[in-house]
Amino acid sequence: MEERDAPSVVIDPAAHDAVVFDMDGVVTDTAGTHEAAWKRLFDELLTAAAPEGADRRPFTSDDYRRFVDGRSRLDGVTTFLASRGISLPEGQPGDAPGCTTAWALANRKNRYLLDELARNGVAVFPSSVELARAARQAGLRTAIVTASRNRAAVLGAAGVADLFDAHVDGVDAAALGLAGKPDPALFLEAARRLGVHPTRAVVIEDALAGVEAGRRGGFGLVIGVARHGEHDDLLAAGADVAVADLAEVQVCPRATR
């Protein structure tokens, strides 16, 4: 039987006090679910309602990764539409999904996401769950950060809510006026809630905007999760190291005197 390679990244409790995990694509296997909801939203718009002269090509996985992944719903809408030469009024958070404002599209995307979750459920990445448990066993505090307002429902459905000492999500961002990734505000709020300095915390992210946020926030170690081979892009965006899966990351036991 072939032996597995030793973990290539080590989290040392002598250097770190906490680990902050992104949710979608790092802990929960829902990045594909989000991408499917975004594709349904944007392909409808590009087919039926894009203005003359706009780029009407279908929404792609590369679009998702570069313009949407890790961002708030509103920021994802406006950033992607700008890449296609489309500008819509921002509108208001309560705009109905059928209206033609950025907020309306964001609300429609959430409806499509809930449809996808109802059909497919929520899976987790076993290695990520194991890493969170190992961190806690070593005495590190843990947090989960997401731009999603569905954090409680997703973690509850996945059965992993008790793995995290603190959380910061889209509901918190709206209530506190926190800017979305790549701004580091969400991660900095997680560190504050954990009672740790950012330089003593690890950020684990799979999104380009997320690793940039970790780097801009001055976190001690930023680990990029390159599930689709995007190691170089994550490193360029600010990750200290990129791994294909969190099985490549080990937590050292806390030293005892």
Catalytic residue among 5, 12, 17, 24: 24
Q: Decide if 251 contacts 138 (C-beta within 8 A).
A: yes
Q: Is 63 a catalytic residue?
A: no
Q: Is 22 a catalytic residue?
A: yes
Q: Decide if 114 contacts 120 (C-beta within 8 A).
A: no
Those residues with Cβ within 8 angstroms of residue 146's Cβ, 6 or more apart along the chain or in another chain: 22, 23, 24, 167, 168, 169, 170
Distance CA 68, CA 84 (A): 13
Catalytic residue among 17, 22, 69, 206: 22
Q: Tokens for 93?
A: 């958070």
Question: CB 114: neighbour CB atoms within 10 A?
Answer: 14
Q: Among all chains, which residue has been given the structure tokens 């990764």?
A: 65
Catalytic annotation, residues: 22, 24
